Amino acid sequence: MISFITSICAAAIVYAVSILYAAIGEIFSQRAGIMNLGIEGIMLMGAMSGFMTVYHTENLLLAFLVTILVGLLLGLAFAFLTVTLQADQTVCGMAFLIFCSGLSGFLGKSVTGIASAVKFEPIPIPGLSSIPVIGEIFFQQDIFVYLMYLVIPLSIFYIYKTKAGLMLRALGENPASLDQAGINVFAMRYGYVMFACAMTTISGACISLSYTNFWNEGMTGGKGWIAFSLVAFSRWNPAYAVLGALLFGGISILGINMQVYLPGVPSQFYGMLPYAATVVALVITTGSFRKKHSEEPAALCQKYDREDR
Amino acid sequence: MKIGAIRFEKKQTVSLSRKVLNPVIFILLGFVLSSVFIMANGFQPIPVFGKMITYSLLNTRGLIGSINAALPLMFCGLSVAIAFKMNLNNIGAEGQFAMGAIFGGAFALYGPALPAPLSGIVMFFLCAIGGGLWALIAAALKAYWNVNETIVTLMLNYIALLFLDYLCYGPWMAPKQTTAMTVTIPQDMYLPLIGGTSSGIFLAIIIAVLLYLFLKYTTGGYQISVIKNSLRTAEYAGIPVKKYILIVLALSGALAGVAGFVQVTGIVHRVQAQLPGGSGYTGIVIAYLSQCNPLVILLVSVLLGALQNSSAVVQIMGVPSQIVTMIQGTLMISVIAGEFFNRYRIVYYKADPESKRAEQKNNHSEQKGGAVQ
C-alpha cells in the first residue's frame, strides 16, 4: 500500500510540474497585465519543437534550448499584437490557440507517434533519494522537477521581495503611473510576455521529452487550460499555484490508477475528472459569492495606450 | 506612435469601404504568411494552394462539397458570434455541438417513431436544447457567480467529447462495428439533398437572417449591444444583464447544437466519436473574420469549408491535413493585426528642419514622461 501511495505521489508531482511552468509563466504575464489564452497551443508548439529536435539530433540540451527559443519567438509575436498593435487580448489568445495547435500538428506530422531514442531520465539525488518514502517521491525525479524546486521559491521571492517584482505588480495595476515614473512600460510587457511563453513551451517540453518520449497532435489534452485556470485559482500567487497543481496532479493520477481498482466504470469518466475538478475549483475560488477583495490585477486585459491618457 | 519618419495617427472614423476592404487584404496576407510555414515544412505553396482552389471552389462537385462542409461551420460561427456580440467568449461550441448530437441522436436512434417531417422537427429542437443546456451550465456560473465563462465552456468541451466517446464505444456502438459509431438514423430523417447540396443550407440562411434582424432591429439586439459597450451603463439603465447572459449563452449553445443536427441528419447520418471534429474552434475563426455579422458568416463559412474540403486533396500530395487549422489560425492572426490599420492612419513626416526640431522637443518631453497628445 505504501509503495502504491508513494508511486502515486511521485507521479502527481511529475504531472504538477508539467503544468506549473506554464502556470507560473502565466502568473507573470497576467501580473504584467497581459492575458494569454493561447497557453494550450503554445505548450503544443513547445512539445513539438522539443521533440523534433531530439528526434533529429538526440541532443536533449539542444532540444531544451530550441523549445525556449520557440517560446520567446511566439511571445514576441503575441506581445507585438497585444502591446504594440493593442489588439484585444482574448481574441489574440484564441487566435494563438488555433494557430499554434494547427502549426504544431502541421510541422510535427512527420514525427507523429514515433518514439525518440533519448528522453530526460530520472536522476536520483545521492543521499536524499535514499530517504524512505520522501526520497522516492521528491528526489528520484528528472531535471524538470529539480529545476521547478528552484523556480518556485525564486518566483515567489521575485514577485514579493524585489524591486523588479514591485514594478511588475504595479504594471498590472496601473501602468500609467509607471510610465509617468519614466519606466518603459512597453518593454517590460514584452519581456514578461516572452518569459511567460518560454515557460509555457518548457511545460510542453516536459510532456514530450520527459513525461513521454513521443509527439502526438494535441497531446497536451487540456493541460494548458488547467494551467490557465490555475492562475485565477491561485490568486496570482505562485505558492498557491503549486498547491493547485499538486491537487490536479493528484486527481488525474488517481483517476488513471482507479481504473485498475474499479474497472466497472468506463475509462472516459475517469478522463473527465481533471476537467470537472477544474470547473469546481474555479467556482470555489473565483465565484463572486466569496465576499473577498479580488486580487485580479486591475489592468489585466486592458490595453495601455499613451494617447488615451 | 512613431517609427522613424513614419507616424501613426488615430483615426476618428472608419469608412465602410475600408472596414470591408481591410479584412480582405489581411486575409490575403494571411495566405502569404501561411505559405512561409508551408515552405518551412518542405512543400511548394503555389501548387498546394492551386490544387486546393481548383479542387474545392472551381468545379461544381467541389463547390457542393465545400458548401456541405461549411454547413456545420455556419452554425458554429453563428454560435460564437452571438456570444461575442455580448463580450462573452463561448469557446465551447465544440462540446455543445457534441451534446446537441447526443440529445438528437438519442431521439433518432431510440425515441418513438414519428411521421417524417415531425420527427425531423423534434430532433432539431432536441439538438438545440442539448447544446443550449450544456452552455447554460457556463451561463449560470457566469451570471450568478461571475465565473470566467471562457474556461468553463472549454472544460465542458472535454467532458462532452469524452461522454460522446463513451456512448459511441459503449452502449450506442453499432453491432459488428470496430469504429466508434452508432447505426444510421432512420432514412426518413435524412435532410433531403437538392442537387447534391444539403437542404440544411436553407435552414442556415433562415437562421442567419433572423439573427441579423434580431441583432439590428429589435430591443433585445439593442440591449445586447449596450451590454457589450458598457456593462455599467446597461446596469444603470436597468437592463437585466443576468437574464441576457443566460439567454444569449443558451442561444449560442443551441446554435452549436443545431450544428450537431445538420451534421448528423445532413452529412454523416449517424452519431460517432469526434463528431464535431474541430468545427467549434473553426467557429471562433469564422465569427472573428466576419466581424460577427451573421450574413457575412455564411460567406466566410463557405471559404473555410472549402479549406476543410480541400484538405483531402492536398493529403494526396503528402501535405498533412493539419494545414487547415494552421491556415485558419494564420488568417485570424493576420486579420487581428490588420485591425490596427482600421484604427490608425500612417503619416509620413517630411524632414524639414522646423518640424525636426519640434519633434526633438516632443521626444524630449516624452522621455521625461510629459503628456503627449
Question: By CA distance, what is B282's nearest residue in A?
Answer: A98
**pLDDT at A293 (0 to 100):** 59
Question: What was the pLDDT predicted at B372?
Answer: 40
CB contact under 8 Å between A103 and B163, yes or no, is: no
Q: What pLDDT sits at residue B357? A: 56
> Mean per-residue pLDDT for B125-132?
96
- Asked if A276 lies within 8 A of B371 by C-beta distance, the reply is no
Cβ-Cβ contacts under 8 Å, B291 against chain A: none
pLDDT computed for residue B219 by the predictor: 92
Residue A73, chain B, CB below 8 Å: the answer is no
Residue B367 has pLDDT above 70, yes or no: no
pLDDT at B100 > cutoff 90 = yes
**What is the predicted pLDDT for the residue at B187?**
85
Give the mean pLDDT of A2-16: 88
Tens of pLDDT, residues B275-302: 998 899 999 999 999 989 999 999 999 9
Classify the C-alpha dihedral B26-A32-A100-B68 as positive or negative. Answer: negative
Q: Which of B1, B40, B329 lies closest to A99 in CB terms?
A: B329
Contacts of B322 in chain A (CB under 8 A): 102-103, 105-106, 109, 217
| Pair B18, B342: CB distance under 8 Å | yes
Residue boundaries of the structural domains of chain A: 2-220
CA distances from A108 to A181, A220, B97, B155 (A): 46, 14, 28, 25
Q: Number of CB pairs < 8 Å for A and B? A: 155
Summarised one tens digit per residue, pLDDT across range B186-231 is 888 888 888 888 888 999 999 999 999 999 999 999 999 999 988 8
Structure confidence at residue A13 as a pLDDT band (50, 70, 90): very high
Q: Kindly report the nearest CA distance between residue A124 and chain B, in angstroms.
A: 36
Residue B56 CB partners (closer than 8 Å, separation 6+):
B62, B63, B65, B66, B306, B307, B309, B310, B313
Interface contact A98-B37, CB threshold 8 A: no
- Which pLDDT value is given to residue A40? 94
Enumerate residues 336 to 355 of chain B having a beta carbon within 8 A of any beta carbon in chain A: 336-337, 339-340
- Order of strands across the sheet with B6-10? B2-3, B6-10, B344-348
Find, among B49, B56, B33, B68, the residue nearest to B326 by Cα: B33
> Nearest-CA distance from B278 to chain A in Å?
10
The chain A residue lying nearest B339, using CA atoms, is: A87
- Cβ-defined contact of B159 to A272 (cutoff 8 Å): yes
Burial level of A26, CB count in 10 A (0-12/13-18/19+)?
buried
For the stretch B18-57, pLDDT in tens is 778 888 899 999 999 999 999 988 889 999 999 999 999 8
Q: How far is B87 from chain A (nearest CA, A)?
A: 10
Is A85 within 8 Å of B339 when comparing Cβ atoms? yes
* Chain A residue numbers touching B43 (CB-CB < 8 A): none
The CB density around residue B352, as the number of other CB atoms within 10 Å, is 8
Cβ-contact B272, B181 below 8 angstroms: yes
CA nearest to A18, candidates A134, A108, A105, A145:
A145
Inter-chain residue contact B329 with A287, CB threshold 8 Å: no
Q: Which residue bears the cell 509555457?
A: A200
> Between A266 and A24, where is the model more confident?
A24
Q: Enumerate the H helices of chain B as residue ranges.
A: 16-40, 45-56, 60-84, 93-110, 116-145, 149-169, 200-217, 219-229, 231-236, 241-262, 279-289, 294-309, 311-316, 323-343, 353-367
CB contact under 8 A, B163 and A272: yes
| ipTM entry | 0.90
Which of the four pLDDT bands, split at 50, 70 and 90, describes residue B136? very high
| Residue among A273, A279, A305 with most chain B CBs within 10 A, to mutate | A279
For A235-258, write each residue's pLDDT tens digit.
899 999 999 999 989 988 888 888
Per-residue pLDDT at B369 exceeds 60: no
- What's the distance, Cα to Cα, between the start and end of chain A in Å? 63
The reported pLDDT for the residue numbered A35 is: 93
Average pLDDT over residues B357-363: 56
Answer whether A282 touches B (CB < 8 Å): yes
Q: Are B31 and B49 in contact (CB under 8 A)?
A: yes
Query: Which residues of chain A from 245 to 274 reach within 8 Å of chain B, CB to CB?
Result: 266, 268-269, 271-272
**Contact residues on chain B for A105, CB-CB shorter than 8 A:** 320, 322, 325-326
Chain B residues in contact with A180 by the CB 8 A cut-off are 369
**B139 interface with A at CB cutoff 8 Å:** no
CA A60/CA A50 separation, integer angstroms: 8
B74-87 as b/e, with b when 16 or more CB fall inside 10 Å?
Answer: bbbbbbbbbbbbbe
Mean of all residue pLDDT scores within chain A: 90
Give the pLDDT confidence score for residue B165 in this predicted structure. Answer: 93
**Which cell goes with A46?**
513547445
Task: Say which residue, B163 or A259, is predicted with more confidence.
Answer: B163
Percent with pLDDT over 70 in chain B:
92
The 10s digit of each residue's pLDDT in A107-144 is 999 888 888 888 888 888 888 888 888 888 888 888 99
User: What is the model's pLDDT at position B373?
Assistant: 36
Cβ distance of B159 and A182 shorter than 8 Å: no
Question: Does residue B368 have a pLDDT over 80?
Answer: no
- Enumerate the residues of chain B whose CB falls inside 8 A of the CB of residue A272: 158-159, 162-163
| pLDDT given for residue B351 in this prediction | 56
CB-based contact B151 A307, cutoff 8 Å: no
Q: Are A179 and B370 in contact (CB under 8 A)?
A: no
Residue of B nearest to A185 (CA): B369
The pLDDT tens digits for A43-69 are 999 999 999 999 999 899 999 999 999
Contacts of A101 in chain B (CB under 8 A): 325, 329
Q: Above 70 in pLDDT, residue A292?
A: no
Split at pLDDT 50, 70, 90, the class of A75 is very high
Q: Does B372 touch chain A (CB under 8 A)?
A: yes
Chain B: residue whose CA lies nearest to A97: B329
So what's the pLDDT on residue A56? 93
**From the list B159, B165, B284, which residue is nearest A276 (CB)?**
B159
